[in-house]
Amino acid sequence: MLGYIYAILFYAATAILVIGLASKIWIYARTPAPLKIPTTPAPKTRSGVVLRMFREVVFFESLYKSNKWIWLFGWMFHMGMWLVLIRHLRYFTQPVWGWVELAQPFGIYAAFAMLIGLGGLWARRVLVERIKYITNPSDHLMLALLMGIVLSGMMMRFVTRTDIVSVKVYMLGLMRFDVGYMPADPVLMLHLFLVATLMIVFPVSKLLHAPGVFFSPSRNQVDNPREKRHIAPWAAKLES
């Protein structure tokens, strides 16, 4: 019975995440940029824009220039998260890919980087007055949700020792729409519930900055206003 409850929860959460994220990306892609507004100094070629976006996504270049402490905590959290996500791919692949196996020892301790990063980002919303002023209750709830996911995951690794073999069999079964046995482990149940909750709220949360950065005109535009006239699609239709 427990396996079916969580199967329904994850199928619903996955559908909400995929549909909600796709609809948001569709809106971002169709939103016109009527002005040429790249943040200078900006690249003057498309390849330069690609390189700039790479530095922004991987190294958080603009945040580094803005505030070194926030950059440190933010970068620790995001890079740790990617390693943890890569490590979790072993629960959804059989056989496990070679590069996923190589990431296993790094993914274990990347959770500590996530924890420290989240702690720093949360502290800034409480201790920095100008950030505290613009912080909403939803910001604290989102940080609490992420912190709960990290802590419950670490508990399964370092405290309670969940039966990960059964968890993998259950997850592989869900991918084939074959609901099997799920261990009745309270920490596992909490961890999966929090993950499903994050999947549900993601399309309507501030976490949408993840795909949104690729559609930011201040980052993805070429700085060539003199060489080429910039016309928004809707303006071009009016002119024609």
Question: For residue range 93-137, what is the model confidence (pLDDT) as tens digits?
Answer: 999 999 999 999 898 899 999 999 999 999 999 999 999 999 999
Mean pLDDT, residues 217-237 taken together: 80
pLDDT of residue 13: 97
- The yes-or-no verdict on residue 31 having pLDDT over 90 is no
- The yes-or-no verdict on residue 239 having pLDDT over 80 is no
CATH number of the domain within which 59 lies: 1.20.950.20
Residue 228 falls within a domain, yes or no? no
Domain of residue 193 covers 2-27+42-223
Place of tokens 């709220």: 201
237 pLDDT band, cuts 50/70/90, is: low
- The yes-or-no verdict on residue 229 having pLDDT over 90 is no
Mean pLDDT, residues 6-28 taken together: 96
Residue 73 falls within a domain, yes or no? yes
Segments in 67-208 forming alpha helices (H):
68-88, 98-127, 129-133, 137-158, 164-175, 186-201
Residue 78 falls within a domain, yes or no? yes
User: What are the angstrom distances between the C-alpha of 202 and each of 17, 21, 34, 126?
Assistant: 7, 8, 28, 23
- pLDDT tens-digit readout, 162-186: 888 999 999 999 999 999 999 989 9
**Which residue type, as a one-letter code, is found at position 77?**
F
235 pLDDT band, cuts 50/70/90, is: low
Q: What is the largest CA-CA distance in the chain?
A: 67
Q: Is 70 helix (H, G, I), strand (E, B) or coil?
A: helix
Residue 18 falls within a domain, yes or no? yes
Is the four-CA dihedral 22, 24, 30, 35 of positive or negative sign? negative
Residue 230 falls within a domain, yes or no? no
Residue 238 falls within a domain, yes or no? no
pLDDT of residue 240: 62
- The yes-or-no verdict on residue 233 having pLDDT over 90 is no
Q: In the chain, how many domains are there? A: 1
Residue 33 falls within a domain, yes or no? no
